Amino acid sequence: MGEFFRVLTDNWTLYRDGFTNTVQLFLIAAVGSLVLGTLLGAMRVSPVPALRASGATYVNIVRNTPLTLVFAFLVFGVPKLDVNIDYFDSACIALTVYTAAFVCEVIRSGVNTVGTGQAEAARALGMTFAQVLTLIVLPQALRAMVPPMMSVFIAMLKNTTIAAGFSVLEAGAIPSYMSERGEPQFAVLLWITIGFLILILPLVALQRFLERKWRVAR
């Protein structure tokens, strides 16, 4: 047991820096994907055919592209176009672009749970599409969107480990550094697992809290 705790205490700085970068990467990508995904979701339910087609095209392309390939394009492909982006920023963009497609589908599915009669009544009162979406539809759809949306963000948190393969020092990169120091990999991986559990459990608790709150509100 002493050896197990020694792995953490002797390498605390590496663990701290790795998980700090993981949290930063997650928060930036979460905000970015939520904004972009909401915009794409609005396009997917828009009455304008061109917008619906554009949103559907984006979602179909990105969802069927491996996240590793998105990372590789931004890290290795974009610099060939004389656009210099550092590794951390590239990782943020890759996660945002990829996760936004899933956020979009969650929003679209949530919007579809709201009866069309309410939107039609709002339009009959002279409300614009943006007003109908933001004031009538989304507040009601939010209840249905919480469980799948939290699942998307939990998956994105775990997907941050892919950044380790593209020179970003985050939690997924810790094992390679520790192997160079000769630390036992079982203990190293177990501490990383504990770290991710600490990060994920608050998201699960938030999901359950919101579900209970809105279930009572109904």
Q: Indicate the pTM of the whole model.
A: 0.86
* Residue 82 region by backbone torsions, left for phi larger than 0, else alpha for psi between -120 and 50, else beta: left
Q: How many CA atoms lie within 13 A of 47 on its CB side?
A: 9
User: According to the model, what pLDDT value does residue 146 have?
Assistant: 82
pLDDT higher than 70, residue 44: yes
Q: What is the DSSP letter of 73?
A: I
- Vertex 195 angle, CA 193 and 198, to 5°: 110
Q: Out of 82-91, 155-164, 176-185, pick the least confident.
A: 176-185
pLDDT higher than 60, residue 218: no
CATH architecture of 2-217: Orthogonal Bundle (1.10)
Instruction: Quick: pLDDT tens for 185-206.
Output: 888 889 889 999 999 999 889 8
6 residue type, one letter: R
CA distances 167 to 20, 37, 41, 80, 97, Å, are 15, 27, 32, 18, 19
Instruction: Quick: pLDDT tens for 132-155.
Output: 777 777 777 777 788 888 899 999
Identify the helix (H) or strand (E) that includes residue 133.
Answer: none
Place of tokens 């396009």: 43
pLDDT higher than 80, residue 26: yes
